[in-house]
């Protein structure tokens, strides 16, 4: 009988060894994490650990900018800094990177990608992010605007002054469309809800994404409506209209329809997860994130 090296029983381990060797040579694409409002890299240590465990050797960077209270700064200002931090990571990743953007970080990522026409993002993962806007009371809101009801916040948000606070940049009051379109200097232009000179360039940039993964769920408790995390939003009756029926989707104003028709948009809806648990929930990682990080 043959020795160890030639025995059939050892073939699987030879194959596994070869695969491990291959992956350590080729490596996994680097992962960049963009944090949410009132948090920072510390809150993403668990997620980084999940990634390291399932894809050993992955270079994971959680951008440490505008952490905690500084996350209230206007989003265009934040986008500039995030873009400059992300650019060199992309540059040194010949085969592209993956981007995981949590909560408000999703809006930052939208701004970064729109204005970074040479980006090489493979998977763009929006993790419980109000990417179609926010219209709801939350503890975050109450902390900053204790005296405001959501129905009155537009008085503040839809002003030049208000647009200097991040939350107002994606405040989307379905009863104040005219004011929103006139004043929103962030979400409205990104969505192509208003005309501007850079629409085509931003759209082209968005279309460079290989896969767009949208993760959210009904027990989130903060993102309102929670469907905003999968690009749904309220109509003027506060009835949620799904992504595919949104006006900016039907007009393909920023490329979402094109991406979706290529089969490049994936939705992962998970019940039973509160907003602050998304990035530390192993089930969410395994079912919605892991397979997009190769």
Ligand X SMILES: *[C@@H]1O[C@H](CO)[C@@H](O)[C@H](O)[C@H]1NC(C)=O
Contact call for residue 276 and ligand X (CB under 6 A): no
CB of 141 or CB of 190, closer to ligand X: 190
Q: Which two tokens stand for residue 152?
A: 């009155």
Query: What SS3 state is found at 137?
Result: coil
Nearest to 82 by CA among 96, 63, 67: 63
One of 235, 238, 242, 247 touching ligand X (CB under 6 A) = 235
In angstroms, what is the minimal distance from the CB of 69 to ligand X?
26
By CB under 6 A, the residues from 2 to 31 that bind ligand X are 30
Does residue 220 carry a catalytic annotation? yes
Q: State the Cα angle at 247 between 243 and 252, rounded to 5°.
A: 80
What is the spatial distance between Cα 281 and Cα 283, in angstroms, rounded to a whole number?
A: 6
Q: Which stretch in 9-17, 74-82, 169-177, 271-279 sits in contact with ligand X by CB under 6 A?
A: 271-279
Does residue 204 carry a catalytic annotation? no
Q: Which stretch in 67-75, 94-102, 176-184, 190-198 sits in contact with ligand X by CB under 6 A?
A: 190-198
Catalytic-labelled residue, pool 71, 184, 220, 228? 220
By CB under 6 A, the residues from 93 to 122 that bind ligand X are 115
What is the spatial distance between Cα 92 and Cα 113, in angstroms, rounded to a whole number?
A: 17
One of 22, 204, 242, 272 touching ligand X (CB under 6 A) = 272
Nearest to 114 by CA among 85, 144, 80: 80
Q: Count the residues of the shown chain that bind ligand X, applying the rule CB under 6 A.
A: 22
Q: List, in sequence order, every beta strand (DSSP E) within 113-232.
A: 121-127, 211-216
CB of 56 or CB of 218, closer to ligand X: 56
Contact call for residue 84 and ligand X (CB under 6 A): no
In angstroms, what is the minimal distance from the CB of 157 to ligand X?
20
Nearest to 55 by CA among 81, 19, 104, 15: 19
Does residue 103 carry a catalytic annotation? yes
CB 97 within 8 A of CB 69: no
Positions touching ligand X (CB under 6 A) are 30, 49, 52, 56, 59, 61, 89, 92, 115, 196-198, 235-237, 270, 272-273, 277, 281, 283-284
Active site residues: 103, 220, 275
């Amino acid at each position: 009988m043959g020795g160890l090296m030639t025995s059939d029983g050892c073939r699987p381990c030879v194959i596994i060894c070869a695969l491990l060797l291959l992956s350590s040579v080729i490596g996994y694409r680097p992962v960049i994490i963009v944090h949410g409002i009132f948090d920072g890299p510390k809150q993403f240590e668990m997620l980084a650990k999940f990634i390291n465990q399932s894809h050993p050797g992955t270079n994971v960077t959680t951008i440490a900018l505008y952490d905690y209270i500084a996350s209230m700064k206007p989003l265009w200002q934040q986008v500039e800094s995030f873009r400059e931090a992300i650019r060199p990571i992309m540059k040194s990743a010949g085969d592209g990177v993956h981007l995981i953007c949590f909560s408000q970080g999703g809006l930052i990522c939208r701004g970064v990608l729109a204005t970074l026409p040479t980006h090489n993002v493979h998977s763009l993962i929006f993790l419980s992010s109000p990417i179609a806007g926010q219209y709801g009371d939350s503890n975050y809101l109450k902390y900053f605007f204790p005296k405001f009801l959501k129905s009155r916040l537009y008085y503040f948000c839809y002003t030049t002054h208000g647009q200097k606070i991040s939350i107002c940049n994606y405040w989307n009051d379905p009863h104040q469309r005219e004011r929103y379109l006139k004043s929103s200097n962030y979400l409205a232009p990104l969505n192509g809800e208003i005309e501007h000179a850079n629409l085509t360039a931003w759209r082209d940039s968005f279309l460079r994404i290989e896969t767009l993964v949208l993760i959210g769920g009904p027990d989130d408790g903060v993102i309102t409506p929670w469907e905003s995390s999968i690009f749904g939003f309220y109509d003027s009756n506060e009835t949620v209209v799904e992504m595919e029926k949104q006006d900016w989707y039907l007009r393909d104003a920023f490329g979402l329809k094109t991406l979706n028709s290529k089969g490049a948009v994936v939705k992962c809806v998970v019940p039973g997860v509160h907003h602050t648990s998304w990035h530390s929930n192993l089930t969410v990682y395994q079912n919605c994130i892991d397979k997009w990080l190769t």
